[in-house]
Copies of this chain bind each other. A is one copy, B any other.
């Protein structure tokens, strides 16, 4: 323990990918996917329809992967003697995430989610709220089946913190004067907390000492922050010149993210007036304002520095795992940090 291996000294790898991590949890994830499918079942037909619209649309399932991975890292033997605590907790984590997305769409009045029309557009706000509630209930049922009060404590606390973070964000919405610290408090709660909880329940299931649970929690928390910051930068096309097709969603929704926080603070009076008009008053000229916004961000290196901040949290995440001995799973988790950050290039 505590041995720092050369691998950990390496900075982010341009070839970084999630492949190793995904391969290491492959059989577990098959069982998670089967569990997810069976627990969205209901005689009420609308429930599997709405739930699967979102769940089947993919996403990387990073959160449940992290639960399986940290459990495995800490020596939890799944499927041994019929134990599938990691699979059930991983499925719970994905349900909590899906419930949050369903409720977020209602809160943000979003039309799209993961490249598909949002559930609330197809089935209405009502169905999104209620199916979210159903998934949350099912998530807790699965956790209770696992029977670990510590895991229950971690995940139920996360549920309250996430909702608190979302309300915090609502309060800060459209406020261009949001500070970097305030913004960090929001993403810690609304995004990183679930990553942290997903990683913390692994060692808890394996009944490992507190130091390992704290290490995995710290890994998840900082990975989650880095993940969200990179997402924020990607929404403005990252640092590359080529813009993907989903660029500008945050801008059009008036979301205050770190690139905005940095640009606003570093900007001149004219630029601040631009941010106030577009984000606070919501007066956006679709044809010109996004280009202007990205131009201002480039001038102030706001996207580069957002990714620089992400790299900082990524480094903390990597160091958090230092107390674990070298192993394929540890290497795969370190690589996942590099992957999350290298997405932005």
What are 26 inter-chain pairs, A to B, with CB distance below 8 A? Answer: A42-B167, A44-B164, A44-B167, A44-B168, A46-B171, A47-B164, A103-B133, A106-B129, A107-B129, A125-B125, A130-B163, A130-B167, A130-B170, A131-B163, A134-B163, A134-B167, A136-B163, A137-B160, A137-B161, A137-B163, A140-B140, A140-B156, A140-B159, A140-B160, A144-B152, A152-B152
Q: Are A107 and B126 in contact (CB under 8 A)?
A: yes
A44 to chain B minimum Cβ distance, whole angstroms, is 5
Give bound CA distance, A162 to B130, whole Å.
9
B residues less than 8 Å from A13 (CB atoms):
none
B-facing mask of A122-160, CB < 8 A → 1, else 0?
Answer: 000111011101101110110111010100110011111
A113-127 with Cβ < 8 A to chain B: 125-127
A260-305 with Cβ < 8 A to chain B: none
A44-B164, A141-B153, A144-B156 given; A106·B126 CB < 8 A = yes
Q: Are A167 and B46 in contact (CB under 8 A)?
A: yes
Q: Are B138 and A160 in contact (CB under 8 A)?
A: yes
* Chain A contact residues, majority secondary structure: helix
The list of the 9 closest CB pairs from A to B, nearest first, reads A137-B160, A137-B159, A140-B156, A134-B163, A133-B163, A107-B126, A144-B152, A130-B166, A141-B156
The verdict on A45 contacting chain B, using a C-beta distance below 8 Å, is yes
A144-B149, A157-B141, A160-B141 given; A167·B127 CB < 8 A = yes
B residues less than 8 Å from A136 (CB atoms):
133, 136, 159, 163
B residues less than 8 Å from A126 (CB atoms):
106-107, 170
Indicate which residue in B125, B134, B171 contacts A160 across the interface (CB closer than 8 Å).
Answer: B134
Q: Are A171 and B141 in contact (CB under 8 A)?
A: no
A186 to chain B minimum Cβ distance, whole angstroms, is 10
- In the complex, the chain B residue whose C-beta lies closest to that of A145 is B153
Indicate which residue in B125, B156, B171 contacts A45 across the interface (CB closer than 8 Å).
Answer: B171
A113 to chain B minimum Cβ distance, whole angstroms, is 16
